[in-house]
Amino acid sequence: QFIKQLKKKFCLLLTATPVQNRLDEIFNLVSLLKPGHLGDLASFEEEFRQSKRTPKNEEKLKALMNKVMVRNRREETGIEWTKRIVQTIEITFSEAERNFYEAITSLKGDANHFSLLTLQREICSSKEAAFMTLKNMSDKANEQGFDTSLHQQLMGQLAQIETNSKAEKALELVQKIDDKVIIFTEYRATQLYLQWYLKQHGITSVPFRGGFKRGKKDWMRQLFEQNAQVLIATEAGGEGINLQFCSHIINYDLPWNPMRIEQRIGRVHRLGQKEDVRVYNFAIKDTVEEHILKLLYEKIALFESVVGELDDILSQLELSSLDEHLQEIILNSESEGEMKVKLDHLQAIIQDMQAEEEAKERAAK
């Protein structure tokens, strides 16, 4: 609506990541560039829409798109990009951390599955993150007059955890790197804990998150460049900030959305980066975190590649929201074995389609 109201003679739209192929998104963007090029919405949907994300008459739609869109892949720019060097770092829970994780897993038939999955992911990050969720669940249950004894029991079990195995590994790695490092976490509570933990060991860090106003974001970037060794970012740190003076990224927690991984790495692996970019992926052994990393991310070589081609494949599978699909697989699996089979199946389909796309590109050349 804003762009439509601008008085303009020319319009150029630029994006770092490809359109995610939602048909309404394509229609709206093209209509901004060239009003009427795809007709009105009703005629467009009648001619090209099979379902929300699946088009029909694809060749005709592609031909129309090619008249208003130029797609430059990174490998076609002629620019000598530095490498991405990816390393998986497996971490073993302490006994107390493992006991809490197993306690959560054993509740699968007795509580809201989504909440349990959230807690499983959070304890892989920090007990602080898990505590915040449990506290909110307990307060909500108490307001509604429900029994909160289970919440209290789990919070008591959390209190017995005296170490954070993942934070210890992060500290060890930051000290070994002895250079600027960006740590990405999914959780604000973990961000605050890491800042405190690193400070206890003499390492200066600055936070970065979506709630900061533009001025504060610029200030945090400046502090990181000139003073601090570590920037600790929540997901909002994956967008809108250029950090090519840093070449080390720790994925402390892994998102389940490939586009967010690319946004993270893209903060440093961009024009102006003079060093090879090193990406360290943390995963706790024998947890849902390790399953996602090993059974999906590593096998489709997500971290080494730019995500555009994968995005095309996911849209063809009607899986543009991969994180939601992964949650569905995990929540609806009755056992670890069933979950592994489903993830293996998804990974195999994606690999086959990747091979098909590569074959098409070779044939086109």
Instruction: Write the DSSP string, 339-354.
Output: HHHHHHHHHHHHHHHH
| Segments forming the whole domain that contains residue 41 | 2-71
Instruction: Give the C-alpha separation, 256 to 48, whole Å.
Output: 30
Shared domain check, 255 and 319? yes
Shared domain check, 86 and 49? no
Q: Structural domain tally of the chain?
A: 3
pLDDT in tens, 320-362: 466 677 777 877 777 777 877 887 787 777 777 777 777 777 7
pLDDT of residue 147: 78
Instruction: Give the C-alpha separation, 289 to 274, whole Å.
Output: 32
Cα 167 to the center of its chain, rounded Å = 20
Average pLDDT estimate for 142-164 = 88
Shared domain check, 181 and 294? yes
Lowest mean pLDDT among 194-208, 239-253, 321-335: 321-335
pLDDT in tens, 259-293: 677 788 888 988 889 999 999 999 999 998 888 77
Average pLDDT estimate for 6-28 = 75
Shared domain check, 307 and 236? yes
CA angle at 337 for the pair 335 and 342, rounded to the nearest 5°: 100
Per-residue pLDDT band for 227 (boundaries 50, 70, 90) equals very high
**Which residue from 294, 186, 292, 184 is spatially nearest to 248, judged by alpha carbons?**
184
Distances (CA, A) of 73 to 169, 217, 244, 273, 294: 36, 29, 20, 18, 27
In the predicted structure, residue 133 carries a pLDDT above the cut 70? yes
Shared domain check, 180 and 314? yes
DSSP code at position 160: T
In the predicted structure, residue 192 carries a pLDDT above the cut 80? yes
Domain end marker among 127, 159, 191: 159
Shared domain check, 295 and 217? yes
Domain end marker among 71, 103, 123: 71
Shared domain check, 114 and 198? no
Bigger pLDDT: 191 vs 299: 191
Bigger pLDDT: 33 vs 299: 33
* Tokens of residue 61, six digits: 């739609």
Q: What is the maximum alpha-carbon separation in the chain?
A: 67
Instruction: Give the C-alpha separation, 240 to 208, whole Å.
Output: 11
Domain end marker among 103, 137, 159: 159
Per-residue pLDDT band for 58 (boundaries 50, 70, 90) equals confident
Cα 50 to the center of its chain, rounded Å = 29
Shared domain check, 196 and 345? yes
Instruction: Name the pTM for this structure.
Output: 0.76
* Tokens of residue 162, six digits: 């005296």
- Which residue type does 265 have? I
Contacts (Cβ under 8 Å, ≥6 apart) of 329: 339, 342, 343, 346
Shared domain check, 35 and 9? yes
Percent of the chain past pLDDT 90, that is, above it, reads 38
Shared domain check, 272 and 188? yes
**Which residue from 30, 86, 35, 130 is spatially nearest to 281, judged by alpha carbons?**
86
Shared domain check, 214 and 99? no
CB atoms under 10 Å from CB of 319, counted, come to 17
Contacts (Cβ under 8 Å, ≥6 apart) of 140: none
pLDDT of residue 306: 45
Shared domain check, 26 and 6? yes
Q: What is the CA radius of gyration of the chain?
A: 23
* Tokens of residue 210, six digits: 């979506």
Residue 67 CB-density burial (10 A; 0-12 exposed, 13-18 middle, 19+ buried)? exposed
Helices 23-33, 41-48: axis angle to 10 degrees equals 130
